[in-house]
Structure 1
Amino acid sequence: MLRRSAGRPLSPISGRRPASRRSTARRLWAVAPLAGALLCPLAGLAQEEGVAQDESAQPAVGAEPTDAPNPLAVEPGSPEEFVSAAARLRRIGRPGLARQYLKTLLDAQPTDDALLEARDALGPAVFFELATDPQLRPEGQTLQTRVREALVARGADPDRLDGLIDALIAGPRERDAARAALTGLAGNATPRLVERLIASADPVDGNQQLNGAIARLLGELREASVPPLTAALRARQAPDTGRGSVAAALGGTGTQAALDALLGPAFARDEAPAVQLAARSALSRLTGGDSLRGLSDVAADRLRKRAETLLSTAPVSSETVAPEPLYQYDAAENRLIPTALPPAVADRFRAAVAASAAAAIAPNRENLRALELTAALGYEAALAGRGRFLERGEGTVHRAALSAGPNRVLHALDRALDLDAPDAASAALQVLLAAPSPDLLQPIAEGQSPVVRALSSPAPEVRFLAALLAARSNPGPTFADGAEVVDVFAGALVDAPGGRAVVIDPSPERGTQMAGLLQGFGYRVSLAIDAREGFEQVAAGAGADLVAVHANVTDLPVSQLAANLRADARTRPTALLLYGDDRLAAPLTRIAERAGEAAFTPFPVAPETLERRLAPLRAVATPLPDDLKADQKRAAAYELAQLAAGDERAFPLSGALGELSDAIADPEIAADVASALGVIATPEAQKALADALTVIRPGAESELAAATALTKSVRRFGSLLSVNAVSDLRRRASEEQEPALRDALVVLSATLPGASAVLPVEVALPPQ
């Protein structure tokens, strides 16, 4: 489902450029710095041809006499005239003089427009002959290269390409030149070749001779032909005759990509008979027999494996690998529209195409239907961007997934988790969030619930969406994974812009030093003194973006801890930084190399050195975008407040006490955080609420919520506050001026144990 991009309409097949364009080329040429070279093309001819300068020396066999007159009546003045002169001199046996004219032309550095005008006027065959004549090397070859580069620079203009394509069925001289030019253009010419291939297959207006010539050339171009041919074959709205010719051309490329593209049309049950026959014939040609013909399950499984591989493979950075071109075919205009997609999105698109073809071949196989939905959701999620909402509405994958029903979406989520495809898993969870229910938390088949599995995903966006779905599904008090849901929300409350880091170091002093350095890079850091505690912190809640481990970590050797981090799905993508004495650089570096996405740094370390060591890890383990983290923080606070109003047995909020106590200082979410703290029956929870009222003071609205929550907590659990905290709260009540907050503080003061609150002086008692 590629997005359609605008482009100029097809140009009609046209002939030679009008004379006005050629005269323009002459004007462009006229400004070129030819200097005196045009006046005497014979200068230096003897040296160029290797003719002896000694008067007594005899000329070599085939060499031109130095005193031979120039047969040209008029000296050339434009690129067209220079090329024409060189061609004429070649035909009359004057290669030396022809080379000199070509050299003069090249030295003048004519513009691309001037060269293309000359090519239009004289035809490509002339340039081909000059390039292939051994006596005109290297000038003839250089000239042809310059013309080819000019064609590419001009975007392979359809009018020029049409002239070359028409020449494929001309005389031998023009045909060879056209084939050479189109082969040199390769991928710049293949889209137009495919468009002309389809047009020439028309039973009324087509040309079978041209159709065959184009198909043969496309086959010779191999990999360059496959993307546009595949796009045209995939377009069901294209005419069957054209798609049949496309299938035949794919069979001539001899590539594995062509074989994959042909499997769907060859075996899909709803394919047109003519296209299916052509695709099967092309497959037989590719495989050297009929090893795949008729074996639809084999074809479906091959496409399934390709889709699974594309979904489970981490995308390659666009900075290191140029994306393979993709096209959308517009049947109404017989036009291939190039579509630029980042490599990650392009891989998801190819996965969706392969999975869809597999499901079309074997529509009764439920696993293929689930994979088709998984891949389609992954492609839509990749288009939207990491953690973003899918496009919704009529005709979208989101609507189609809703229509497919929750059971199929759950299976698609299960497949996405199996394949470690977080974008597809996030998309499936978004669809399920449209209608949450307790049934979604039940196991499917004999395994675990996919939603519960997603709570342990290595991708933070997947974990968060799974926690949202679990919280909104009202699972009841028997739900066993509520604590993990609370952990995910708790982590989202305090996630820093740079991400979360865990430092594991048996020395608190040294660990604090490393934590301070990491905080300088934007990380929110927590400390652990042994391997087991550190592993639990990395695996819990929203997870960690970085774990820094000292060489002397206790409980487990560093190598074993690194292996455990990579073995657990929750911690597998976490970047690993090993640090210690510089003398341990060699063994720790080997451990880091085996673990992958890891590095060693000596310690103590300067901030600039640590920054260099962290740079490759931060490039790979990219935290969520800041705006997405902010959205998750607000949503987490709201969900925790909603859980506080429900049955606490399913979702024990006490596990989030530390994060809630820290988050009460954030005025943006303090009101929801206060509601959650109010149902936790611990002195620490009541102290956090009291501190919000007497120390932190996040704002009137947040303080009103804190006062209300603390009042409910005291009434429910009794006062767990110290005497000093109670005194501070009563003092605050007597000083507050804002009416609503003052009333809430007075009610709180009356609820607290001890002496009654002092009434404000402006309050008058009614007469007795």
Structure 2
Amino acid sequence: MSFNNRILAAFALVISCTLSTSPHVWSQDEIPPQFQKPATISNLSPDELLLSKPETPAQLLQAVIQLTGLGHAASAKPYLDQLLKANPDQETLLKLRDEHGPAAFLSLANNKALQPESVTLLNQMEAAFRAFATDPARINGLINDLSGTPTDRNISIIQLKSAGSIVAPPILKQLSQSEDPTRNDELAFALSQLGKPVVEPLIAALRAPENRIRKIAAEVLGDIADPSAALYLWNPAFSESQEQSVQIAARQALSKILGKDPRNVYELNRHKAQQVLKNAALQFYKNHVDAAEKQKIWVWDSTQQTVVQKELASQEVGLIEGLRLAKEALEMSPDKQDVQTLYLSMVLALEAYQVGWNHPLPEGPGTAFNLALLSGPKAVSQVLALAMKQGHTPSALAALKALGQIGSRNLLYEKLDQHSSVIAALNYPDRRVQFAAATTIMQLDPANTFPGATRVIAILTRALGGAGKQSAIVVDSSIPRGQTMAGLFNELGYETEYTQTGMAGFKDATQRMDVEFIALEHNIMRWGLSQTIANLRADSRTANIPIIIYGPLRLKNKIEYVTRHYPLVQYVVESENTEDIATQVKPFLNSLKTPELTGELRSEYRAAALYWLSHIASSQRGKIYDLTPAEKPLLQLVSDRSLASNALITLGGIPTRTAQADLVTIVTNKTMDNDIKEIAALQLAFHIQKFGLLVDSKEVASIREAYQAATEPRLNTALASVMGTLMPDNKVVGERLQEFKPATPLP
């Protein structure tokens, strides 16, 4: 008995029971009709409703649908379990889909009483249908049907639509291989009927090497008229490298999508194309996100003569798209500096991403780094400025390395805003960039002092010992509140300076150049909040220092709206609790950091920092750089034989009594290796020569004892040079001359 017949039978039973009793006469034991419980479908058990026990997958699904429709979802679930355990194959699932339609599966999946089994069934059905819809043999058969009767063609297009974007590659491949105009028209018409799913593959086809394919792709995109395709039609429409037929097709497509008149040169023109492409590429450069999510992208594969889909990291996809658009913009205006800067930035960014953090860019012919070298210091300096403005650390690192090889000391005195981009990089909120800027400046070898010289030493010194100190500035008109906030930041590990006005905070930030962040109270004076932020962002020395604004919760949305155009700005709700402030501040500051340096890279930084510090100590650059802050970290590195030489040379260039005393300590250390003590002795002699004797008589006596105890010839000679710098008087000289015994006895 069918389901409908069983329902009718149930209704008949109810009606029969109702009519069997007269409406006016009852026996004494009978219950009046208004109190009588009728026999309804809800009184029937699941077995009574089904009449027969389901066994096949089709019967089981029919039972689940019937019972769920009658409100017996709980009774239907065992049959759903049984269906899943039967593990129906794809063919069976497709037959069930044809019989009941996809809506039935979706309805079951949305019923919470049947979950999660109903969701599993929906997923299995969808997987089976995808496999069926995307079967290459089936798709090729449908494409062949496009040449059939109008009915065959219409049926084919309807079924191709159900397969989605996967049908685009075989159609485009046939277009690449076919020289039959009629056949090509059929294929192009089919693509135009498939709509949005084939837009992205067609955009990829705009970059096919063959003009005919690009022309067809442009025409079809115009027919589909999806707004997302407009961006990618500007270059084919106006680039001189495109064939005229492609240009015409692309311009007509653009006019359809944008609703413009292609004959109006003021609406669609080459200049407009260049602007649109440049802005879009810049947006991709700005929106770089270091995330692991995967994203699909369509590209043209010349080997297969069609488009193919690849799955790449979202960040890489953004860089690829941005680079393509930047290149297309460059084709429009190859001599425009801002477009050149953007293209070179995108090239460096993509190559830096591909090699990964903690790895240098590849060098040699055809590499992005060599392209930067060939572009000259002016172009690369602009790349550095753009990279820092947009927070693109890999590009900034590559630009700094290139500038170290091709730049001149004049770069330190150029004025992009108010100071050089290289000097601004010393304060960029990433320690890789800071170190690269410091070593670049050392390579440029400035002959005169410059803003940030003290920052160079601070960065190199920090590389000697690891973390180094972190500094911050608090600006608050209220002294008690400002001091409280400074205390909170001190507890978080920042050496915090407090000032009362925006102008004073700005001045301190530009002079110190070792500030990790600036905290501004929302109601500061002289300057106000907006003026202070604007000035901090306008000066290259402070443009990349993170800004934290603190105030009451009620002002959060308002101030965030006002400051939305400024980079590296965060609003936090003021509190006197260190934990509350840490919860708000640390995620913001941590988001600006790049992956931690590897141990190997830290060692490289330490060795490089020591090299440059020793270079300063042994040259005439002591007038520019103050090496005093490096003294304590240097002493800790002397025991490392690979670092000892440069550490001791640097100590020898620090004009302090404590540095001289450190050298004496090493020279007189009985457990220190002789070769290290030899270098220390030579540097001690140099230090006394250059800065005079700064240690006391007790330390001089210890030097004399070390000299007398030294039996190794090279060490003894080095210590003798120290003894000679102590300016012995005539009596001491006479005694030493008399004590001397020639190596070869006199005859």
Q: TM-score, normalised by structure 2?
A: 0.70
Identify which of 164, 182, 203 aligns with 2:178. 203
Query: CA RMSD, aligned part only?
Result: 5.5
Rounded to whole Å, the distance in 2 between the matches of 1:516 and 1:739 is 53
In the other structure, the counterpart of 1:46 is 6
In the other structure, the counterpart of 1:260 is 231
Q: Which amino acid aligns with 2:625?
A: L
In the other structure, the counterpart of 2:207 is 234
Matched, 1:652 2:621: no
Aligned ranges for residues 189-588 of structure 1 at < 5 Å? 189-200=164-175, 202-204=177-179, 207-208=183-184, 210-221=186-197, 225-236=198-209, 239-289=210-260, 290=262, 295-313=269-287, 315-316=288-289, 318=291, 324-334=295-305, 336-386=307-357, 388-417=359-388, 419=390, 421-438=392-409, 443=414, 450-452=421-423, 454-455=425-426, 457-475=428-446, 477-478=447-448, 480=450, 483=453, 486-487=456-457, 489-494=459-464, 496-497=466-467, 500-502=470-472, 518=492, 526=495, 528=497, 543-545=514-516, 569-571=540-542, 574=545
Structure 1 residue 373 displacement after superposition: 1.8
Rounded to whole Å, the distance in 2 between the matches of 1:277 and 1:690 is 83
Structure 1, residues 360-410: CA drift from partner, whole Å, max 9, x if none?
123343442333222222222233335642122333222333344445434
Q: Structure 1's 547 and 369: CA in aligned 2 closer, same or farther, altered over 3 A?
A: closer
In the other structure, the counterpart of 2:689 is 715
Structure 1 residue 542 displacement after superposition: 7.8
In the other structure, the counterpart of 1:91 is none
Q: Which amino acid aligns with 1:500?
A: Q
Structure 1 residue 453 displacement after superposition: 5.0
Structure 1 residue 498 displacement after superposition: 8.8
Q: Report if the CA contact (8 A) 2:301-2:307 is conserved.
A: yes
Larger radius of gyration: 2
Larger fraction in helix: 2
Rounded to whole Å, the distance in 2 between the matches of 1:502 and 1:268 is 50
Farther-moved stretch of structure 1 (493-502 vs 509-518):
509-518
Q: Report if the CA contact (8 A) 1:502-1:537 is conserved.
A: no
Matched, 1:633 2:627: no
Q: Report if the CA contact (8 A) 1:426-1:462 is conserved.
A: yes
Secondary structure of the structure 2 residue equivalent to 1:326: strand
Rounded to whole Å, the distance in 1 between the matches of 2:511 and 2:606 is 17
Rounded to whole Å, the distance in 1 between the matches of 2:534 and 2:15 is 85
Q: Structure 1's 157 and 396: CA in aligned 2 closer, same or farther, altered over 3 A?
A: farther
Rounded to whole Å, the distance in 2 between the matches of 1:440 and 1:308 is 25
Rounded to whole Å, the distance in 1 between the matches of 2:723 and 2:523 is 52
Q: Report if the CA contact (8 A) 2:427-2:513 is conserved.
A: no
In the other structure, the counterpart of 1:683 is 657
Farther-moved stretch of structure 1 (107-116 vs 676-685):
107-116
Structure 1, residues 560-595: CA drift from partner, whole Å, max 9, x if none?
98887666555555556799xxxx976998999678
Q: Structure 1's 384 and 557: CA in aligned 2 closer, same or farther, altered over 3 A?
A: same
In the other structure, the counterpart of 2:115 is none
Q: Report if the CA contact (8 A) 1:664-1:692 is conserved.
A: no
Q: Report if the CA contact (8 A) 2:352-2:395 is conserved.
A: yes
Q: Report if the CA contact (8 A) 2:634-2:651 is conserved.
A: no
Rounded to whole Å, the distance in 2 between the matches of 1:658 and 1:79 is 80
In the other structure, the counterpart of 2:616 is 643
Farther-moved stretch of structure 1 (695-704 vs 423-432):
695-704
Rounded to whole Å, the distance in 2 between the matches of 1:409 and 1:274 is 38
Q: Report if the CA contact (8 A) 2:387-2:395 is conserved.
A: yes
Q: Report if the CA contact (8 A) 1:387-1:461 is conserved.
A: no
Secondary structure of the structure 1 residue equivalent to 2:621: coil
Identify which of 712, 715, 725 aligns with 1:751. 725
Farther-moved stretch of structure 1 (262-271 vs 447-456):
447-456
Unpaired segments ≥5 residues, structure 2: 19-52, 64-68, 71-75, 111-117
Q: Which amino acid aligns with 1:710?
A: L
Q: Which amino acid aligns with 1:676?
A: T
Structure 1, residues 505-542: CA drift from partner, whole Å, max 9, x if none?
999999998688545xxxxx545465799878866788
Q: Which amino acid aligns with 1:200?
A: L
Q: Report if the CA contact (8 A) 1:267-1:294 is conserved.
A: no
In the other structure, the counterpart of 1:26 is none
Matched, 1:673 2:647: yes
Q: Which amino acid aligns with 2:470?
A: R
In the other structure, the counterpart of 1:148 is 126
Structure 1 residue 332 displacement after superposition: 1.0
Structure 1, residues 25-46: CA drift from partner, whole Å, max 9, x if none?
xxxxxxxxxxxxxxxx847963
In the other structure, the counterpart of 1:131 is 101
In the other structure, the counterpart of 1:662 is 633
Q: Which amino acid aligns with 1:642?
A: H
Q: Structure 1's 526 and 153: CA in aligned 2 closer, same or farther, altered over 3 A?
A: farther
Identify which of 569, 579, 583 aligns with 1:596. 569
Q: Report if the CA contact (8 A) 1:500-1:545 is conserved.
A: yes
Rounded to whole Å, the distance in 2 between the matches of 1:549 and 1:414 is 25
Q: Structure 1's 586 and 515: CA in aligned 2 closer, same or farther, altered over 3 A?
A: closer
Structure 1, residues 670-711: CA drift from partner, whole Å, max 9, x if none?
432332332343435434544555689987665544433232
Q: Report if the CA contact (8 A) 1:440-1:449 is conserved.
A: yes
Rounded to whole Å, the distance in 1 between the matches of 2:484 and 2:103 is 76
Structure 1, residues 198-227: CA drift from partner, whole Å, max 9, x if none?
423543378336523542244333xxx444
Q: Report if the CA contact (8 A) 1:489-1:637 is conserved.
A: no
Q: Which amino acid aligns with 2:646?
A: D
Rounded to whole Å, the distance in 2 between the matches of 1:112 and 1:543 is 69
Rounded to whole Å, the distance in 2 between the matches of 1:170 and 1:114 is 35
Q: Structure 1's 676 and 145: CA in aligned 2 closer, same or farther, altered over 3 A?
A: closer
Q: Report if the CA contact (8 A) 1:348-1:379 is conserved.
A: yes
Q: Report if the CA contact (8 A) 2:655-2:691 is conserved.
A: yes
In the other structure, the counterpart of 2:44 is none
